[in-house]
Structure 1
């Protein structure tokens, strides 16, 4: 009776009452001692639990050991859990499963090692062991073959039809780029047993598999099937439904799911409500996002992060800074993606002071060397004009991806350090990182600003020849600008004529401006004609051409443009400007 009371007090976290009852007991047996250990574990006071356990270790039974091991696993203290397990005189299946589950929950590859040891000890893997082993196989690259072996073992042991094992199998195949295998397993079970026999966890596993593999329409169809079958969604199902809406960027569908959430009572669920906040934020519906956020009784990091990143994209910088301060003051976990969003805000408004404050926060939180945050820091300093600080940060990074390399190259180009941009590019190639289209856009921009024609031409040609990249309109524009600035007008005109893409207005305008700058009246008429033919209804074209003729004092051509504008019905605003220029 007394033991039951101690356990009851523990379940209601009334630790003082449990301890008082224990101290007043005249006789204490193993059950009593274990109840006190459980009480401390339940309340998260593991050091006290260990102290009590050490005092009774000589008489401790399997339940006592498992209770404390479970406590360590529950708080992610796997070293302590494993050390204690290895001291255990005679661990049973529950002991092994407790450690294996703890390792799997904490993403440790050692899970599979312990599963192997358990098998060698002659203990049978069961419905608790298989899901943990399969979860680990699906979470690491290169363990797919082992996952299939465990599947065979589960099949021979008769545990494949167990609900949790089935769900773990679907997850494992989905996470191992073998979605077809997951679908086959799912459909095979449905055929044998009928969809009405499926547990919601099995449905959820298949939906999650579709979402993780970008099969959003299939996920929607499955969600619809569950809904029409009358099975009630849980928070995980609703979370998957909302993620489909996010990935499809589908506002109307999101509103429909939101309506169902309200009727089902899950709108204010912490996890579901956070993802709903994120959905509206990603869709740019910040008013709706704030409305959901404000109603949530508990707001986790996902809700705060979604709102902050949404405000960043919406360009609401003052609101973004305010939310970030609140999030930090509440002691919530701020990941590198939120930090990156804040640094982008600093970059967009050129707020070096706030950027430095975020940088200090990065250092304290340990995000400074993480790829996303580090790249954002490099970008922030370069856009705020502190290119030397940006280069110093970049040089201190050990792990630099193509985005990071491209960021510093673009930054050097924008801050008048074209030679440094070219040198960094050579380092990038030597390091084995392949450049992308944006990298070359940054390089050509740097050459354009510095007038490095030969370097620019060499890089432009190397895009296709050395890296298999097709130059886009933006790359051609940079080259036309570069050649035009250098007075190489014929070369620029030839490049345009050889473009596999249709030249846009910006490219023609660039060459037209270069002709005016270099007083080349011979080419102006041809370029003007190309502009008028390509963009006959664009008033700005007539304004631009007229301005060029006026600057070059080509009055006859100016009059012809004026008459053409009148005949084609160009708006009065265009004609008024032409008259002023004349």
Structure 2
């Protein structure tokens, strides 16, 4: 049986197992560990269930394997049952079972319990330490990772190549340059830079993440050219950091050495195409992917996302249509692409299609659909559909997700349900900057400027640093509530307290706030002092304020600027004509309206849907 399992002959091993008249724990362990070794986790756990049901008492090897299966496959409830059985049978102090339990609770996210079990172990091997280090690396808790490494050295254990891979990768997440360089020195002393390709590639990734192109290339050049992993690593890290020429050079040299690029290289190129909005380069990469036959789901979803971010929604839909089977991984990027390109109703139709075809949905689906519903100009219908999606989030367990919670806060506030938005915000256990910003935006949208300031103070009191979007939301609240002095203080504190330089939107909001309050001279000075002194939005806002307060001299200057900055837009001339009409200059008003009529473009034809909902669909759309 053991020989059959090691050679992958599952059917032969199973046949022999079935023919046995008597089975003990060793026999069952061979089947359980054999299926686990080849990734058949469900079958392996099923054998364990049969073993227990037949009254066979587990051994330490059984528990070690079963707990590892539960941790890897996410069978946490079964893992807890196995833990209880291990304690009852007296295996609680076993080092191998203890290591598996630590791994299980780390996979469950219960770090405190895992560390408590880890500290209670009478003997901690290097493998056990690597389990803990891997978990902190995957959680991107770099400082705690390095702290655990120091504790490991106090235990007198020497790190191996796997240990260094976790440590170096962790340093790259938070750009711990000094710690990474020290680890590099240790790697060189142990000779792992030449003997362990995984460690050598980890050094390439580390220096790339820290932005050191010279050290990245040095680490790469030290790796033998026959290693295909290093070539793909170099291509992907250069692409991920925006170094297109270096990535293409490595890609070309890789092919000259006869090495085949991997999926990671193409994913890096597609991501770079999205960031640079270079759809032409993205199409070239698409051709390479097609020629090499990388028709896997991950690549197809990235292609859909790339075309959507570049604004080529037709190609994005074409890739989606060509996918043999519609899955969640392909529907989500198409949904975000449709939203980004302004096809809001198609987003809602796509959600209906996903429900009808039992594709399912996740937190990304719900968040994007809620944002789409918030943009629909049907307040009552939007509120109703937001409630339906809220129910879906509760039933599927995604209500506690930060992105979904923020989208719900935004959706309810847009339909006037600010009380529900506040209730959802209060239910978030640990709100982050994005969550606070969503709540501030919801209050601002409903004209509750003073409440915006209260939430901002609460956010800063929790040690969170507001970003530019947060400040813009608070300024909007001040603008809608006429809080001039508070707006001034906020605008000045952006730079002085948090080092955030105001953007065009912040200046525009302040100009509108000053103009609404009748402080027209101050608003004009603010425009002149800003880097965007020729921004049409600010001058249009100024023109509206001049109409409101009948300031003819300043209004003429504003009207002149609006017409000069956007002479091809009919709305610019319409705004100017309204101003001249209220000032009594009917001749000038007539001239502006004639020019506006001459430059008015035809209205767009009705849009067509990219999504075809099958007949018999329910009433989602």
TM-score class, shorter-chain normalisation, is: 0.7 to 0.9
Aligned residues: 551
Q: Which moves more between the two structures, 118-127 or 239-248?
A: 118-127
Q: Does 1:573 align with 2:573?
A: no
Equivalent residue for 2:73, pick from 72, 75, 78: 75
The answer to whether the 8 A contact 2:171-2:179 is kept is no
Q: How far off its partner does 1:344 sit?
A: 0.8
2-structure distance, mates of 1:338, 1:517: 44
Match in the other structure for 2:19: 24
Q: How far off its partner does 1:253 sit?
A: 1.4
Alignment of 1:455-534 (within 5 A): 455-496=486-527, 499=530, 501-521=532-552, 523-528=554-559
Match in the other structure for 2:370: 343
Tell me the alpha carbon deviations over residues 344-392 of structure 1, each in whole angstroms, 9 at most, x when there is no partner.
Answer: 1111115122222322333344443433332222212111221121122
Match in the other structure for 1:579: none
Alignment of 1:52-71 (within 5 A): 52=51, 55=56, 71=69
2-structure distance, mates of 1:533, 1:289: 38
Q: Does 1:449 align with 2:480?
A: yes
Q: Does 1:163 align with 2:192?
A: no
The answer to whether the 8 A contact 1:6-1:21 is kept is no
Q: How far off its partner does 1:271 sit?
A: 2.5
Tell me the alpha carbon deviations over residues 527-554 of structure 1, each in whole angstroms, 9 at most, x when there is no partner.
Answer: 5455566667766555444443333334
Higher relative contact order (CA 8 A, sep 6+): 2
Match in the other structure for 1:183: 217
The answer to whether the 8 A contact 2:297-2:329 is kept is no
Distance 1:73 1:143, change over 3 A: farther
Q: Does 1:252 align with 2:280?
A: yes
Equivalent residue for 2:447, pick from 401, 408, 416: 416
2-structure distance, mates of 1:260, 1:168: 27
The answer to whether the 8 A contact 1:40-1:48 is kept is no
Q: Does 1:36 align with 2:31?
A: yes
**Structure 2 regions of 5+ residues with no counterpart?**
99-123, 601-621
Match in the other structure for 1:87: 94
Q: Secondary structure at the match of 2:428?
A: coil
TM-score by length of 1: 0.76
Alignment of 1:132-281 (within 5 A): 133-134=166-167, 137-138=170-171, 141=174, 151-161=184-194, 162-175=196-209, 180-189=214-223, 193=224, 195=225, 197=226, 199-266=227-294, 268-281=295-308
Q: Does 1:49 align with 2:80?
A: no
State the superposition RMSD in angstroms.
4.6
Q: Which moves more between the two structures, 372-381 or 206-215?
A: 206-215
Q: Secondary structure at the match of 2:222?
A: helix
Match in the other structure for 1:315: 342
Match in the other structure for 2:104: none
Q: How far off its partner does 1:435 sit?
A: 3.6
The answer to whether the 8 A contact 2:270-2:282 is kept is yes
**Structure 1 regions of 5+ residues with no counterpart?**
576-582
2-structure distance, mates of 1:515, 1:121: 75
The answer to whether the 8 A contact 2:145-2:167 is kept is no
Flag the structure with larger Rg: 1
2-structure distance, mates of 1:438, 1:135: 34
TM-score by length of 2: 0.72
1-structure distance, mates of 2:130, 2:350: 37
Tell me the alpha carbon deviations over residues 469-517 of structure 1, each in whole angstroms, 9 at most, x when there is no partner.
Answer: 4444444444444444444444545555555541434434444443443
Q: Secondary structure at the match of 2:193?
A: coil
Equivalent residue for 1:372, pick from 403, 415, 418: 403
Q: Does 1:282 align with 2:288?
A: no
1-structure distance, mates of 2:246, 2:17: 57
Alignment of 1:541-560 (within 5 A): 541-555=572-586, 558=587
1-structure distance, mates of 2:265, 2:204: 15
Distance 1:490 1:220, change over 3 A: same
Distance 1:288 1:472, change over 3 A: closer
1-structure distance, mates of 2:592, 2:157: 91
Distance 1:122 1:374, change over 3 A: same
Q: Which moves more between the two structures, 321-330 or 388-397?
A: 321-330
Distance 1:279 1:494, change over 3 A: closer
Q: Which moves more between the two structures, 231-240 or 486-495?
A: 486-495
Q: Secondary structure at the match of 1:373?
A: helix
Tell me the alpha carbon deviations over residues 77-109 of structure 1, each in whole angstroms, 9 at most, x when there is no partner.
Answer: 797899889626899xxx978767766776378
The answer to whether the 8 A contact 2:534-2:565 is kept is no
Distance 1:287 1:29, change over 3 A: same
Q: How far off its partner does 1:466 sit?
A: 4.8
1-structure distance, mates of 2:474, 2:373: 24
Q: Which moves more between the two structures, 540-549 or 346-355?
A: 540-549
